[in-house]
Amino acid sequence: MNIKRKIRKEVEERYPLPEFRMPEEERPNSMTLSRNRWKKPILIAASSVTILVAVSIGVYFSLSGLGQRTYIGGRNYPCNAGRVAIDTGSKENIGQRGLEILSPLLMDEEGNGCVSPASLALCYGALLSLSEGVDSFAERLGFSVSPVEDYKALVQGLNWQAVDKDGEDEEKVVSSIRSLGLVQQVGDEIRLDEEKVEEIGDGTILVDRSDSQNAIRNAENIFHELIGMEMTFPNMYVPENSLLVYGGLRLVDSLIVPKAGKKRTFHAVGGKEVEGTFVNINPKGAYFYYKGENYAALSYPIRFTNLIYILPDEGYTLEEIDLPKAYAEFSRMAEQECCEGYVPHFKAESLIDITKAINALLDGKQRFLEKALVKDGEGPVLDMIMESVQKSKFEFDKNGVEGESVTIAMPGESVDEPGELPEPIPFLCDRPFYAISEYDGFPLFVNKIVDVSQ
């Protein structure tokens, strides 16, 4: 049995996933969904990731095949047998603040882009839960004076799956939101106390030990095995003795009936016209709609989530829309209306450096992961974020929506002089080159490249 199958088998045996089967009378359709209370952005935005929902299995796995790694779970890895409402305060404060922090970075993307306020909240919610002196930082992220309770509430609301029958006997998962939080010890100089993490997080923050060379890939495998994430995690420089915090989210929400859509013209940036696939808005349905000062917004129901389209008025650009304000206005004032028209299928993917945006919120009092460290003498004071990135992707097609996101944060110690990280070596590959594709040290393909325009 290969290593991945072994992990999955042991996890499933020790912690079978609860399932939620929709009663026949409660199954929504496209009409009733549009009339029901819609689930707003923290779910749909969850297409990217920054969530920390740790696993608690109560055993150690030693995985020599994946580098030097050992991880322990908690007893209460959460997956609800039905959907759980997200606390109103979390939506209005944490979700909104995440949107305010990330939307300027989204505007910097040249093409399609994607970010996740939910992923950000869950990653940094886990970090806040294990830290001291973070009241001001927590407030600027939208958390209350008890960030660990806010974090647990998000974890509770962002772990569920819905099962429906496929034919007479077969069952399949039609919709799910799965999330995971992970704090990772790299090397042995700065050590995590698993019992403290377990006690504080109550089984919602997973602990992993790794070496620097394999840290990112090991985390990637944990998220793949435990919540089914498929994306490749972003590469980043990991010092030999360091700590990392990960938050990950995976969303799958299927339409009741797949909608293939119709080809239409899309007017892209710069006056360019391209062909896209569009689905009609049912004129006999009721959709939440709001007309703002220079935009219109409409909530398009999927099954358990919604897509909120915010469309600039003719003559306005995306840059002229205050996205956090528009979303807040829609959330408060949207009403059910009969609408007609169409919305397009789309997909987006982004890798964004959020380090500067996060460090701008710090006040110097924070001591990251202080509650989770083994204290045996004077240790480093982790009072800044050395690096933090978020990778997210989202797609809406004929079957529904699917999104994934991971946010990684590396707390560090501030220094008086620069040079904590090594000086990067320039590698500007802008002339003819060779490229060798290898696997496990064996060259599979050797390429000579003299022109990259093809």
Note the pLDDT tens digit of each residue in 276-331: 898 888 888 888 899 999 998 888 888 888 888 888 888 888 888 898 899 889 88
In which element (H, E) is residue 81 found?
none
Of 279, 254, 284, the C-alpha closest to 27 is 254
Q: What is the mean pLDDT of residues 167-178?
A: 76
Angle subtended by helix axes 147-157 and 194-201, to nearest 10: 70
Rounded-to-integer distance, Cα 106 and Cα 247, Å: 19
Per the listing, tokens 């129901």 go with: 301
Q: What is the mean pLDDT of residues 258-270?
A: 86
| Position 208 confidence tier, pLDDT thresholds 50, 70, 90 | very high
Pairing label, strands 335-337, 306-312: unpaired
Pairing label, strands 60-62, 295-301: unpaired
The single-letter DSSP state of residue 18 is P
pTM over 0.95: no
- Among 46-50, 119-123, 217-221, 389-393, the least confident range: 46-50
Instruction: Put residue 252 in one of left, alpha, beta given phi > 0 → left and psi -120 to 50 → alpha.
Output: beta
The pLDDT value recorded for residue 416 is 53
What digits encode the pLDDT tens for the residues 39-91? 333 223 333 433 232 222 222 222 222 233 444 444 445 666 667 677 767 77
Of 193, 182, 183, the C-alpha closest to 243 is 183
**Rounded to whole angstroms, what are the CA distances from 68 to 4, 208, 248, 251?**
16, 10, 22, 30
| Position 11 confidence tier, pLDDT thresholds 50, 70, 90 | very low
Instruction: Read off the tokens for 273.
Output: 């016209």
Of 376, 51, 53, the C-alpha closest to 193 is 376
Maximum mean pLDDT: which of 11-15, 142-146, 302-306, 376-380 = 142-146
CB-based burial of residue 138 (10 Å sphere; 0-12 exposed, 13-18 middle, 19+ buried)?
buried
**Is 117 within 8 Å of 41 (Cβ atoms)?**
yes
**Which tops the pLDDT comparison, 58 or 396?**
396
Bridge partners of 177, per DSSP, are: 160, 251
Our separate counts of H helices and E strands in the chain read 11, 19
Complete domains list, the chain, with CATH: 3-255+347-412 (3.30.497.10), 262-345 (2.30.39.10)
**Is 353 within 8 Å of 334 (Cβ atoms)?**
no
**Is 45 within 8 Å of 51 (Cβ atoms)?**
no
- CA 150 to chain CA mean position, Å: 17
Of 380, 372, 357, the C-alpha closest to 50 is 357
**Which tops the pLDDT comparison, 34 or 114?**
114
Instruction: Read off the tokens for 283.
Output: 């004129």
Arithmetic mean of pLDDT over the chain: 77
Q: What is the mean pLDDT of residues 238-245?
A: 94
Instruction: Read off the tokens for 312.
Output: 């600039």
Cα atoms in the Cβ-side hemisphere of radius 13 Å centred on 97? 20
Beta sheet of 273-281, edge-to-edge order:
262-267, 273-281, 341-344
